[in-house]
Every structure is written in structure tokens, then in C-alpha cells.
Amino acid sequence: MSKRRLSGWGLQLFFVGPVLLFFTVIMVIPFFLGMYYSLTDWNGVAGTVNWVGLANFKTIFTNDPDFWSSFWFTTRFTLVGIVLTNVVGFFLAYFLTKALKLRNILRTIFFMPNVIGGLLLGFIWQFIFIKGFSTMYDVTGWSFFGLPWLGDSVTGFWGITIVFIWQTAGYLMVVYISSLTNVPTEIMEAAEIDGANRWQMLRSIIVPLIMPAVTICLFLAISWAFKMFDLNLSLTKGGPFKSTESVAMNVYAEAFQNNRYGLGTAKAMLFFVIVAIITIVQVALTKKKEVEA
């Protein structure tokens, strides 16, 4: 018996040990260390860490308009971004599950932007917004192309939104496709015989049946949009005048540019709490709407 126990622990150590070690060192310890640093005035230089209690949080809540403006930008962006990217992703999937001849090529095209990292996508689009759009304006004369893209806070917001949709809609499309192909055809046929039109079928049959995919896609879109960093960095650098600065960028700047690590970790902890609450509430809400076929 004791010999078997020992070998049990040996196996546990062999199989679980390595992954647990990396996880602990890289995620668990920094997380708890972060809780501690958020209550200090640490400036990033080891040795000078003073306990300041909740002072950092007081600063954030009373005297940090930049953080709240980045928070407001991120919230607006997340709301608009998740709706549009899910609508586009869903409709791409909806049409690309029909018996189109070019179905596979089209799916590949829509997914392609997603394999390129946000940083490079941002640079590509910087060129499109600056040069491509101005050429299109010369050719077509449409005022849409003549707007000061990335040049002011409103067009900057929509510019990032356009790129975000372009990047993520294809990924959500893949998830929606895999869910749509699992909708039983008998139910669809039965509804058709009962005289349901396309809109009724979509609203009353397809959408309720693919709610698990909606849960996942909303979850993905929220976490991408809320944690956005690369895209802003390369597209607008958060400008003009920090109007497109995301929370993730604000946290980064506080720590690594202003060298206020204590305040930065406090913001990071607040960020974590907000992300956790939003995702848990969203998953709980949409899970409720899931039905069995």
C-alpha cells in the first residue's frame, strides 16, 4: 500500500509537476505579488517599496481623468465592437453554410486577416487610412473617404472599429459555421413546411439553437475588445490626445513610461476585477438562453 502511494505521488509529480511549476511562477505568484504592489508606491526599482494602503486606488478614483477616459473609450469600443463583429461574423457564417460554389475559398478569405497579428494589421491599415482612402476619395469623390481618418477622436474610434471587425469577424464566422452545421435539418424542414419565412426561421429556430456559439463568440469578442493593445498601438498610438487610448495601454504607460509601478499594478488589479465581472455576468446571462434541440 505505502509503495503504491509513493508511486502515485511520483506520477503526480511527473505528470502535473512541470506544468504546475510554470503556471505558478508565471501566473500565480505575479498575481498575488500584484495585489501586494498595488498597495505600495513601488517605482520599479527594487528595494524601495513603501506600503501606502489604498492610496493608489484613491488616486485612480479621484484624480486620474486619463484612466477614466481610457476606460470610457474601451467600454464604448467594446460595446460597438462586439455587436458589429458578431453580426458580421454571424451573417458571413449564415451565407457561407449555404451551398455556394465558392464557399471554401470565401471562408478562407474572410478568415485570413485573423492569422496576422494586431500590430501588423494596424500598420497595414495606417497606410490604407492615410493613402488608400485619400486615393479613393480622389477617384470616387465620396466624402466617406475624405474624412480625417485617425486624425480626430471620432474617426479614430471608427477607424479602430473597422479594423477590429475586419480582423475578428472571420474567427467568429468559423465558430458560428461549426454551430450552424449542427442545427438539425429536420427542424428546419419542418418549419419550412409550416410556412415559416426566412426571418422567422432565423429568429425563432436558428438563433436559439446556436446560443452556445453566441455565448462563446460574445465571450471572445468581449475579451479581445476589452484587452485591446496591439491594434491601438500601431494604428493610432492611442491618439490624437489619448482619445483612442485603451485601458491596457493606460496600464502599460503608467508602469513602463511613468515608472509608477505601484499605481500601474493598482490599475491592473482594477482592470482584472472589471474584466472578470463582465465576462462572468455575460456567460451567466447568455447561458440561460441556451436551449436543447
Partner 1 sequence: MQKRYSGRLFATEIIMVIVALLFLSPFYFLLVNSVKTFGEIMSNSASWPTAFQWSNFTKAWELTRFPQAFTNSLVITVISVVILALLSAMGAYRMVRANTLFNRLLFFLFIAAMVIPFQSIMIPLMRIVNELGVNNSKLGLIITYLGLGAPMSLFLFHGFVKSIPLEIEEAATVDGCTSIGVFFRMVLPMLRPMIMTVVVLNCLWIWNDYLLPSLILQRPHMRTIPLATFSFFGEYTKQWDIALPALVLGITPIIAFFLMLQRYIVEGIAAGSVKG
| Footprint (CB under 8 A) of partner 1, residues 116-155 | 116-120, 123-125, 127-128, 131-132, 134-136, 139
Looking only at residues 197 through 216 of this chain, which bind partner 1 when binding is defined by CB under 8 A? 212-213, 216
Question: Cα 113 to the chain's mean position, in Å?
Answer: 15
- Rounded least distance, CB 139 to partner 1, Å: 6
- Cα-flanking dihedrals φ and ψ of residue 40, to 5°? -130, 175
Q: Torsion angle of alpha carbons 87, 89, 93, 96, nearest 10°? A: 110
Please give the residues from 241 up to 280 whose contact with partner 1 meets the rule CB under 8 A.
247-248, 251-252, 255-256, 261, 264-265, 268-269, 271-272, 275-276, 279-280
Least distance CB 34 / partner 1 (angstroms):
5
Compute the least distance from the CB of residue 53 to partner 1, in Å.
Answer: 18
Q: Which of 3, 4, 5, 98 binds partner 1 (CB under 8 A)?
A: 98
Alpha helices (runs of H) in 181-260, residue ranges in sequence order: 185-193, 198-201, 207-209, 211-226, 230-235, 247-252
- Whole-angstrom Cα distance, residue 192 to residue 73? 44
**164 contacts partner 1 (rule: CB under 8 A):** no
Binding mask 19-48 for partner 1 (x = CB under 8 A): xx-xxxxxxxxxx-xx--x--------x--
Q: How far is the CB of 293 from partner 1 (least distance, A)?
A: 15
Do 89 and 171 form a contact (C-beta atoms < 8 A)? yes
Backbone angles phi, psi at 115, to 5 degrees: -80, -15
Q: How far is the CB of 123 from partner 1 (least distance, A)?
A: 6
71, with CB counted inside 10 A (0-12, 13-18, 19+), is buried
Counting residues that bind partner 1 (by CB under 8 A) gives 97
